């Protein structure tokens, strides 16, 4: 028997992804620019940091999956981690975006330690959270629905970071508070805002610190909401003996997992490459970083729309075909950036009461809107398939290891991010990217554009190629879920 979930539970659970992705999107969009322009690392130092720490901290992911399976609390195995990690998540998120007054060598050590600790806490939070998708319901269609809402939440976090973070950093670095904002804010918030702006005046380092502190406070609140909104229902056979070695051995006999793992590496490698260089693209190629929040806002709104449409598309097509088509189209639209001139956009004047809003738009914006919509059509497929892969493993072996399966795929995610971030950094270094420079050479600008277009496109094609070999159809998923539901009768007690 499958479990249908209320929209409230699915929405509440999805807020956990919004919370986690505030820091995840900050790492994608802001961290390379922060480390090289504000903190003081070179492009190659940032590349090695992303690679070594990224791969080093990603390796224990399967172990974290096994650890997450161990607790037997009244709230389940995975839910409590949302509460246990909420405060450390805030602490290390803020410290990572803090620039201490230290010697150059000590600052490098500080960057490595804080980034590593943030990644450890993120793993302790996100592996159990992602594992919940496989134990909330037995219904593959419900899992996809949950995954789509999660992706909307995650992409909304991207919208917050892409559209608001840089303006917040500028504001808290001594910028002028917009008059319309002062008019709409309650009096109780106006004074603290002006005080914070004055405290940060002329110091971009404090601007980053305060911006991340405020956004991560929102993350803590959302983790608590996700904890209370969700419920674990699927329990493994109580006679099943726990064995991490056996769980890992089972993975390598699970062909769907192998395909999903490799596709995840390429998928998130592409995201990391593109995400790392788009802020530098607007800073040094388009020569106006003030357009970046608009670019991010338009593109991420389109991405959210694409994700919202993905459930409808999945009702008419197989997950595998959707993913392959989405990746090929996304690759093509990524490559288009190579042929688009970074000219100043056309400015449209939007009248809002007594305030005129200047809205920029260009062909670069249009190509990104189309690219993000096509990318969004892949929706929550990777996340939904984690549960499908866990089902397949249980169906084949009689053993269920939701945490280990999820953690092993998340390892692929972080490996992809580490490799993608490192490759982006090395390409910039190879093309002569100069840290903390007011402008970059034409050669360095070419490196930025190639990374955002051609190299990103190749990684998306790699993800599509992996899914050609995915062996399980939607129809087979439903058959496996039904057979497992029959097997579980008698030992699935559920957790309140």
Query: Tens digits of per-residue pLDDT, 312-344?
Result: 887 778 888 999 999 999 999 999 999 998 888
CB 418 within 8 A of CB 271: no
Instruction: Among 150-154, 215-219, 386-390, 469-473, name the most confident range.
Output: 215-219
Q: Considering only 44-48, 151-155, 376-380, 457-461, which range has the smallest mean pLDDT?
A: 376-380
**Max CA pair span of the chain:** 69
Tokens at 122, concatenated: 């993120």
Indicate if the pLDDT at residue 308 is higher than 50.
Answer: yes
Confidence at residue 495, expressed as pLDDT on a 0 to 100 scale: 44
Mean pLDDT of 256-283: 91
Confidence at residue 140, expressed as pLDDT on a 0 to 100 scale: 73
Give the alpha-carbon dihedral of 149, 154, 156, 160, to 10 degrees: 160
Mean pLDDT of 226-253: 68
Q: Considering only 13-27, 71-85, 196-210, which range has the smallest mean pLDDT?
A: 196-210
Confidence at residue 474, expressed as pLDDT on a 0 to 100 scale: 73
69 Cβ contact partners less than 8 Å away, ≥ 6 residues apart: 77, 131, 242, 401, 402, 403, 404
HEC string of 245-288? HHHHHHHCCCHHHHHHHHHHHHHHHHHHHHHHHHHHHHHHHCCC
490 Cβ contact partners less than 8 Å away, ≥ 6 residues apart: none
Mean pLDDT of 426-448: 90
Instruction: Among 149-153, 248-252, 285-289, 328-332, name the most confident range.
Output: 328-332
Confidence at residue 45, expressed as pLDDT on a 0 to 100 scale: 92
Confidence at residue 492, expressed as pLDDT on a 0 to 100 scale: 47
Picking from 377, 364, 382, the residue whose alpha carbon sits closest to that of residue 303 is 377
Band (360; pLDDT cuts 50, 70, 90) = confident
Domains defined along the chain, listed by start: 7-228+243-488 (1.20.1250.20)
Instruction: Return the sign of the alpha-carbon dihedral for residues 475, 480, 483, 485.
Output: negative
Confidence at residue 496, expressed as pLDDT on a 0 to 100 scale: 43
Indicate if the pLDDT at residue 25 is higher than 80.
Answer: yes
Pick the more confident residue, 304 or 388. Answer: 304
Band (103; pLDDT cuts 50, 70, 90) = very high
Indicate if the pLDDT at residue 194 is higher than 70.
Answer: no
Mean pLDDT of 398-402: 62
Q: Count Cβ atoms within 10 A of the Cβ of residue 415 and give its class: 0-12 exposed, 13-18 middle, 19 or more buried.
A: buried
Q: How many CB atoms lie within 10 A of CB 380?
A: 27
The 8-class DSSP code of residue 341 comes to -
Tokens at 90, concatenated: 């805030």
Q: Count Cβ atoms within 10 A of the Cβ of residue 392 and give its class: 0-12 exposed, 13-18 middle, 19 or more buried.
A: buried
Mean pLDDT of 243-264: 76
SS3 298: helix
The 8-class DSSP code of residue 133 comes to G
Mean pLDDT of 256-265: 88
Indicate if the pLDDT at residue 438 is higher than 90.
Answer: no
Q: Considering only 63-72, 117-126, 445-454, 462-471, which range has the smallest mean pLDDT?
A: 63-72
Indicate if the pLDDT at residue 152 is higher than 90.
Answer: no
SS3 95: helix
Confidence at residue 448, expressed as pLDDT on a 0 to 100 scale: 95
Picking from 264, 279, 274, the residue whose alpha carbon sits closest to that of residue 335 is 274
pLDDT of 209-237, one tens digit each?
A: 888 998 999 999 999 999 998 887 766 55
Q: Which helix (H) or strand (E) holds 417?
A: helix 402-430
Average pLDDT, the chain: 82
Pick the more confident residue, 3 or 357. Answer: 357
Indicate if the pLDDT at residue 1 is higher than 50.
Answer: no
The DSSP line for 374-410 is: HHHTTTTHHHHHHHHHHHHHHHHHS---HHHHHHHHH
Band (494; pLDDT cuts 50, 70, 90) = very low
Q: Considering only 160-169, 171-180, 419-428, which range has the smallest mean pLDDT?
A: 171-180
Indicate if the pLDDT at residue 24 is higher than 70.
Answer: yes
Band (16; pLDDT cuts 50, 70, 90) = very high
């Amino acid at each position: 028997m499958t479990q249908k979930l209320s929209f409230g539970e699915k929405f509440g659970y999805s807020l956990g992804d919004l919370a986690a992705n505030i820091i995840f999107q900050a790492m994608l969009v802001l961290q390379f620019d922060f480390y090289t322009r504000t903190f003081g690392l070179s492009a190659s130092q940032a590349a090695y940091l992303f690679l070594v720490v990224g791969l080093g901290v990603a390796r224990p992911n399967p172990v974290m999956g096994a650890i997450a399976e161990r607790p037997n609390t009244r709230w389940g195995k995975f839910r409590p981690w949302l509460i246990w990690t909420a405060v450390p998540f805030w602490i290390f998120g803020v410290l990572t975006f803090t620039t201490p007054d230290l010697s150059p060598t000590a600052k490098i050590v500080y960057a490595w330690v804080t980034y590593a600790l943030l990644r450890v806490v993120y793993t302790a939070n996100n592996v159990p959270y992602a594992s919940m998708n496989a134990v909330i319901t037995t219904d593959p269609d419900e899992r996809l629905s949950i995954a789509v809402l999660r992706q909307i939440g995650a992409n909304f976090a991207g919208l917050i970071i892409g559209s608001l973070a840089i303006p917040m950093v500028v504001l808290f670095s001594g910028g002028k508070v917009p008059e319309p904002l002062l008019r709409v804010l309650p009096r109780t918030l106006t004074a603290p805002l002006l005080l914070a702006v004055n405290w940060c005046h002329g110091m971009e380092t404090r601007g980053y610190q305060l911006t991340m502190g405020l956004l991560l406070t929102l993350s803590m609140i959302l983790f608590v909401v996700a904890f209370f909104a969700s419920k674990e229902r699927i329990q493994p056979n109580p006679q099943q003996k726990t064995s991490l070695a056996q769980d890992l051995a089972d993975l390598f006999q699970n062909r769907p997992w192998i395909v999903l793992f490799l596709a995840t590496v390429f998928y998130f490698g592409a995201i990391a490459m593109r995400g790392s260089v788009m802020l530098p693209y607007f800073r040094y190629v388009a020569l106006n970083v003030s357009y970046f929040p608009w670019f991010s806002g338009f593109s991420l709104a389109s991405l959210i729309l694409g994700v919202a449409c993905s459930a409808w598309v999945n009702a008419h097509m197989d997950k595998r075909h959707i993913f392959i088509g989405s990746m090929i189209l996304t690759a093509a639209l990524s490559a288009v950036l190579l042929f688009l001139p970074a000219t100043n956009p056309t400015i449209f004047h939007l009248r809002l009461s007594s305030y005129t809003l200047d809205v920029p738009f260009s062909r670069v914006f249009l190509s990104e809107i189309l690219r993000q919509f096509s990318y969004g059509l892949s929706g929550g497929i990777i996340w939904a398939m984690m549960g499908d892969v866990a089902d397949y493993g249980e169906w084949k072996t009689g053993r269920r290891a939701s945490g280990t399966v999820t953690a092993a795929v998340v390892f692929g995610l972080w490996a992809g991010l580490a490799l993608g971030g490192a490759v982006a950094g090395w390409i910039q270094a190879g093309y002569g990217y100069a840290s903390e420079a007011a402008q970059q050479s034409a050669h360095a600008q070419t490196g930025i554009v190639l990374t955002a277009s051609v190299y990103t496109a190749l990684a998306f094609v790699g993800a599509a190629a992996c899914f050609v070999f995915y062996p399980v159809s939607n129809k087979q998923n439903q058959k496996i879920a039904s057979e497992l539901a029959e097997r579980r009768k008698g030992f699935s007690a559920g957790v309140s």
